[in-house]
Amino acid sequence: MATKPPKHDIDETRLHLSRPKKVAVGVPAVLHALQIANDQMGVTRSVQTLMRVNQKDGFDCPGCAWPEEDKRHLAEFCENGAKAVAEEATVRRVGPEFFAAHSVDDLRAHDDWWLGQQGRLTHPMILDEGATHYRPISWDDALKVVADELGAVDHPDEAVFYTSGRTSNEAAFLYQLLVRGVGTNNLPDCSNMCHESSGSALTETIGIGKGTVSIEDIHEADLLIVAGQNPGTNHPRMLSALEKAKQRGGRVIAVNPLPEAGLMRFENPQTARGVAFGGTKIADRFVQIRAGGDQALFQAIGKYLLEAEERDGGVIDRAFIAEHTSGFDAYRREMADADWSELVTATGIPETILREIGEEVRVSKSTIVCWAMGLTQHKHSVPTLRDVVNVLLLQGNIGRAGAGVCPVRGHSNVQGDRTVGIYEKPAEEFLEALDREFSFTSPRAHGFDTVEAIRAMRDGRVRFFMGMGGNFVSATPDTAVVEAAMARVDLTVHVSTKLNRSHAVTGRRAVILPTLGRTDRDRRGGAEQRVTVEDSMGAVHASRGRLAPPSEDLLSEVAIVARLCGRLFGDDHSQAMGTRSHRGDPERGLPEHGAIEPHDEPVHASRDRANVPHADWHALETDYALIRTHIERVIPGFEDFENRIQKGRTFFLPNGPRDERRFATVDGKARFTANPLEYPTIPEGRLLLQTLRSHDQYNTTIYGKDDRYRGIHDGRRVVLVNVEDIRRLGFAADEIVDLVSEWTRPDGSVEERRAEQFRIVAYSTPVGNAAAYYPETNVLVPLDSVADVSGTPTSKGVIVRLEHRR
């Protein structure tokens, strides 16, 4: 059993290349996943664990948010799901001895791969001010440190609470309650860097910040446009759904600057046909678009449809447009004014091809557009997604079978976290319901999103940072700025399963609270607890880990948050379910969150005692079903929650556009919008860099050193560049260069950032476009370069130049 952690960081001198693959998954994927699983878990635990992924009585795969098909295969096999599971179910451990042996400086000198490979965290640890090493601390003392620091902030808005997307509904719901009980809406989350642009565009145009399709719709669609997404790596189970759609006669158009293997061909390891006959061709058409050209592509489709309507009639769904939409005339005028030659320039696609794509959309009886980070992480992502919606509205492709919008979410419960209240700009109805349920008054002022939180930390306006999962330091843009910002915070607290860079780049003091993951058995109050998650398509189901946890000392996320609530707000047994007395006074208006004296338990006793949430925190910690009862009473759509998740059942949250073509927008209609065309302009001698994922990573967690489908092995510091650019700019393939990003501030001045030693790889990408892996390239993404409206960092559109190394 080879379960030793690696001794070395990634040695980039061993990097070598092979031909990029044209087929995804197949037998090599199975073998690679089993290898990683065996390394981390040994054979028996691997088999035991992998058999339980996404089974009805098993745990929800921590890999991605793609839904389970109803008829599940025994091992719903997905290579990267298996790697995600192996990473968590590893038998390697990071305990007090590890921290005694490694100073924080030492940890900081290692890469994300090395850190993650060390294993699961087993003990609460604290880094005292000025200390070189973390030391073990008891749970009680650790939680006291956290509560005391929260009590010491001058104003609740000096505290920031980040959430990553693996946190269960139950833990997330309690966590947002804790945060609002403290008195702030500072709840930045990974969504701010991920699908926020989708949420912004969809809420505004169709009245819900989520997709409108089910897995059956994917199977039934006549046409699927998959844009800005690499499902072969990041949502491998989606390939089975696309395969099914193809078998039913559906067509797929892939829109991407890179010819990603999973978009081309898929060998399903679940079927003999997949393995023996070379698999299924996925994309009927591959559109190698210029990065950032998607708004132009969708405008071209819209323009084509409207021209065809004018000429032939019968193209657009006039009844749907009249009954359910607004803004059509303004959109039609905008498209009439759109200029084909500019659409060609922006996309890099000839007009004849743009028209062919338009024709494919015209003849499609039902169309779905799927997308991920290639569409959400640009400056003009929100207008781009509005134009996606426009095209679908033209043919009434929302709220009927086989049609709709499908933003493919990343983290396995990122959508659920938002549903249960992880949001810095909460809706008034949600806060009112929360206040009623817990007899207090939540703060109304909006909080910081991720980028705003970093700015506040940088400017010394934050004294306390807590991360519920995730790896804030590595995942966020502008690494150097973030690292300096973290150092200004008095206390940084991380609830984590595994070691990562955020434990090494800390505030003046730091606490690590180790926690259970999805795969771990969670016994509280003498019973095995389960949690719930919501997938990318709004379906909620239970998840229960079965493996022995890495240490008896671990608390679940729910238990950690419930205990903190108990310390901060006081246990209030009279507030047990059903016996609530309404002490809060809604007439009083906004609460005063003034200075809080540091106190022992409960910390808030000295201030407005009436204005803290009231619940029996201890009871919630020992019976998660009680949390679900609270969720049911606060959030519409969770009626009869407990019953509807029994026996592995799944239920759908209500979705107005999907269920009844009801659009909760400002005017109650689905809204056409007229968006002036935007696309990146790349200055002479520069490239537009997208920062993306390799096949062997999960965000900042690096599973291995290969990107098998792209033919890159044993290294990560590569920059993929078109051969023509390599030559034109005076470089050579294989040359080691520095990447320098150039950010033009609104006042016209230019800021530079540098990432050193990347090997140039000649690759099929449009002229002017380049690609390199995140998180290594986050140093290049300027903090202030964010998408309009959504505030998402522009991780797919960074202007860079290559520099020879001296």
Ligand X SMILES: Nc1nc2c(c(=O)[nH]1)N[C@H]1C(S)=C(S)[C@@H](COP(=O)(O)OP(=O)(O)OC[C@H]3O[C@@H](n4cnc5c(=O)[nH]c(N)nc54)[C@H](O)[C@@H]3O)O[C@H]1N2
Nearer to ligand X, 234 or 665 (CB): 234
Mask for 484-523, x = binds ligand X (CB under 6 A):
-----------xxxx-x--------------x-xx-----
Identify whether the C-beta of residue 665 lies closer than 8 Å to the C-beta of residue 327: no
What does the radius of gyration of the chain's CA atoms come to, in whole angstroms? 26
Work out whether 697 is an interface residue with ligand X (CB under 6 A).
Answer: yes
Work out whether 166 is an interface residue with ligand X (CB under 6 A).
Answer: yes
Number of residues that bind ligand X (CB under 6 A): 62
Candidates 324, 693, 705, 759: give the one binding ligand X (CB under 6 A): 693
- Residue 131 CA: distances (Å) to CA of 506, 508, 584: 12, 9, 43
Q: Name which of Mo ion, ligand X, none residue 602 binds, using a CB cut-off of 5 to 8 Å depending on partner kind.
A: none
Residue 737 tokens read as 């260069």
Q: Which residue has the tokens 């005076």?
A: 730
Residue 203 tokens read as 């809420």
Work out whether 190 is an interface residue with ligand X (CB under 6 A).
Answer: yes
Amino acid identity of 105? D
Nearer to ligand X, 470 or 538 (CB): 470
Nearer to ligand X, 40 or 690 (CB): 690
Work out whether 33 is an interface residue with Mo ion (CB under 5 A).
Answer: no
Candidates 692, 739, 760, 772: give the one binding ligand X (CB under 6 A): 692
Phi and psi at 693, nearest 5°, equal -100, 145
Of residues 182 through 211, those in contact with Mo ion by CB under 5 A are 194
Contacts of 725 (CB under 8 A, 6+ apart): 687, 767, 768, 770
Candidate ranges 331-339, 355-363, 403-411, 789-797; the one touching Mo ion (CB under 5 A): 403-411
Work out whether 557 is an interface residue with ligand X (CB under 6 A).
Answer: yes
**Helices and strands (DSSP H and E) totals, the chain:** 32, 33
Q: Name which of ligand X, Mo ion, none residue 64 binds, using a CB cut-off of 5 to 8 Å depending on partner kind.
A: ligand X
Identify whether the C-beta of residue 653 lies closer than 8 Å to the C-beta of residue 533: no
Nearer to ligand X, 240 or 690 (CB): 690
Residue nearest to Mo ion (CB): 410
Nearer to ligand X, 127 or 612 (CB): 127
Nearer to ligand X, 75 or 495 (CB): 495
Using CA atoms of 624, 626, 630, 635 in order, give the dihedral in degrees to the nearest 10: 50
Residue 225 CB, nearest approach to Mo ion (Å):
20
Work out whether 477 is an interface residue with Mo ion (CB under 5 A).
Answer: no
Work out whether 692 is an interface residue with Mo ion (CB under 5 A).
Answer: no
Candidates 269, 274, 348, 374: give the one binding ligand X (CB under 6 A): 374
- Residue 610 CA: distances (Å) to CA of 363, 550, 603, 607, 806: 62, 40, 13, 9, 65
Residue 352 tokens read as 């004849």
Of residues 696 through 725, those in contact with Mo ion by CB under 5 A are none
Candidates 156, 257, 269, 791: give the one binding ligand X (CB under 6 A): 257
> Cα(127)–Cα(575) distance, rounded to whole angstroms?
36
Q: Name which of ligand X, Mo ion, none residue 387 binds, using a CB cut-off of 5 to 8 Å depending on partner kind.
A: none
Strand order in the sheet with 539-543: 531-534, 539-543, 650-652
Work out whether 255 is an interface residue with ligand X (CB under 6 A).
Answer: yes
Angle between helices 26-41 and 43-50 (to 10 degrees): 120
Mask for 409-448, x = binds Mo ion (CB under 5 A):
-x--------------------------------------
> Cα(63)–Cα(464) distance, rounded to whole angstroms?
30
Work out whether 470 is an interface residue with ligand X (CB under 6 A).
Answer: yes
Candidate ranges 362-370, 521-529, 632-640, 693-701; the one touching ligand X (CB under 6 A): 693-701
Q: Within 13 Å, how many C-alpha atoms sit on residue 787's CB side?
A: 34
The CA-based angle 226-232-234, given to 5 degrees, is 90
> Which alpha helices (H) appear in 90-214, and where do they start and end?
96-101, 104-108, 112-117, 139-152, 169-182, 196-206
Mask for 215-244, x = binds ligand X (CB under 6 A):
------------xxxx--xxx---------
Other beta carbons within 10 Å of 14 = 10
Residues of this chain that bind Mo ion (CB under 5 A): 194, 410
Residues of this chain that bind ligand X (CB under 6 A): 63-64, 80, 164-166, 190, 193-194, 227-230, 233-235, 255-258, 260, 289, 291-292, 294, 372-374, 377-378, 410-411, 468-472, 475, 495-498, 500, 515, 517-518, 557, 690-693, 697-701, 774, 777-778, 781, 795-796
